[in-house]
Amino acid sequence: MNDLVSKFCGAYAAATRQRTSGQNEADTVKLAHEIFYNDQEIKFNLHHAWEELRNDQKWCEVASSRRDVSGKKRKCDDGAQSESSQATYNLGDEPTNRPPGVKAAKRASGKRSIADSLSASEYQTMWSIKERDLAAKERLSKMALLDRLIGKKDPLTEYEEALKNKLISEMLG
């Protein structure tokens, strides 16, 4: 199946190069079927597979990575890049990027989980520092209030006296 689809991709690339003004996509595909039949002497019956795979990166670059029957790489007459290596697109079709391999995907997912756990531990560390900071600020504000109550020259009212006693017991306890 892979071999036949690759050969049809080559036939399609040849049909695309032979495309003239006024031909539409259906004419190009029909010409590609004729070229495939003339080259292989069998009818191409995997058109549905080719339709699914035609815009994948692998199939757009198939002619540039494979060798033709004579074993030599194809070269254009003018020395420019071959038509297949330029990845022609028809009517807004764009190739899709190939997915990463199994090993690359595993490595990437492993790195993400480590990064997530590192960020979680960083947040935990920041939160504990923030809690200690808030506790220190609260203690300082209570000490400042107690200092004002003790330093007051006028006699303390009943609720000020109760607050002073409460703050002293909290600081010493």
Q: Is the pLDDT of residue 52 over 50?
A: yes
Share of the chain above pLDDT 90, in %: 10
User: For position 115, what pLDDT does the model report?
Assistant: 57
The pLDDT value given to residue 81: 46
**25-34, 64-73, 108-117, 156-165 — which is least confidently predicted?**
64-73
Tell me if residue 56 falls in helix, strand or coil: strand
Q: What band does 57 get if pLDDT is binned at 50, 70 and 90?
A: low
Tokens describing residue 142: 């209570």
Burial label, 95 (beta-carbon count in 10 A; 0-12, 13-18, 19+): middle
Which pTM does this prediction carry?
0.35
Sign of the dihedral defined by the CA atoms of residues 38, 42, 45, 49, in that order: negative
List the single range of 27-41, 69-83, 119-133 with lowest mean pLDDT. 69-83
Phi and psi dihedrals of 56, rounded to 5? -70, 150
SS3 (DSSP) at 102 = helix
The answer to whether the CB of 95 falls within 8 A of the CB of 89 is yes
